[in-house]
Amino acid sequence: MEEAVIPAHLESAKRLKEFKYYFNDKGQLRHTETNQPFAYKRYSNTVNLNHQWYKAFGLVLADYVCELLEKECRLKRVYIPLDAAEGDGSKSFCFMTEGALANPSKSVVLLQDRGVMRAGTWSQQLIVRDGLDTGTQIPFIRQAVRDQYGVVVLNGNDNFTAIKQDDDTEEKRTCDSDQKEHDLKFEQIPKRGFESLEAHIIYVWDNFISNFPDMSVAFIAHGYGGLAFVNLLNERKDVMSKVYAVAFINSAHDVDHQNVGQMGRNWIGKHCRNWLLSSKPLDKLVPSVRMGCVQVSAGTENHDLAPATCLQSIFKYLKKVSNVRKTNPFVRSPIVTRSLTKRLRAKRKRM
């Protein structure tokens, strides 16, 4: 059997082994006894049991990725809201590098699609089928750190606490806005201020990112995350002064349906690029009106796989935009007055 790549001290790795799975040295999920890929069907002829088992496995998998962000990527887990009491079940969290908390000259914010994905994950299914390198945000985090970015990893799908109350027991689970508890004994309680992906990003913006230096922030947003970013743009006008570039990955946003004003449309057209699912080669232009920005091929027609195929192109784009910003700083034009006009005319006559 291949040796597991994850150190034994990770608690979530031990919990995965209770499900009889581990990650090998290529970051692929394998059965501890057969060394075979993950099998969705664990129980024969019992759909509900398979569904419940996979949901439980998914929660452990999400914890596993979060633990990797802390132990392997050296990110700091930041609990929110900041005024939450100890033991408050409504608390959520996100991740940041120490550099991001120190407001560096440049930062990148990672924003996932809507669904079961938690912090650090692009696609849970892709982690299971293919591996950590394609399904998680870890390659993006490592590239960002190499390029000396501060990193903020959002956790926008951590929206509800599902509480099951029986006669003598109380069980708590976290779930996202799309998940439905079929057991009527579960009560979904919204996490205060984080009832949606949009609410999560606005809170993190108001309390952290808005304090970063002007024109120092880049966003990488996948799927519905793109729509949530455009919502942020509509809600917080200082986005235009803080963010210098946005890389959308098969974004779900629509400038018409989201009623983006002319100033916002101009900003999107200048500062954003969308990598769209396409059969065309990577980075080839793909026309679009509803995006409001330059649109290029993601080099794949698989939504889940798109972040992995675009990684290098995205960071090249961010670097290019950053270099242009440095070589062409904004210079305020002088206010034209009558006295200034007279001086300029006199100068021309002398010449």
Number of neighbours of residue 19 by Cβ within 10 angstroms: 16
- Helix/strand/coil percentages in the chain, nearest 5: 35, 20, 45
Number of neighbours of residue 35 by Cβ within 10 angstroms: 11
**Which pLDDT value is given to residue 91?**
85
Q: Which of 54-63, 145-154, 220-229 has the lowest mean pLDDT?
A: 54-63
Task: Provide the residue type at 202 as one letter.
Answer: I
**Which pLDDT value is given to residue 18?**
87
The predicted model gives 32-61 an average pLDDT of 79
Tell me the domains of the chain and their CATH numbers: 1-72 (no CATH), 74-327 (3.40.50.1820)
pLDDT tens, residue by residue, 14-41: 888 888 889 998 999 999 999 998 877 6
Q: How far apart are CA 200 and CA 56, in angstroms?
A: 24
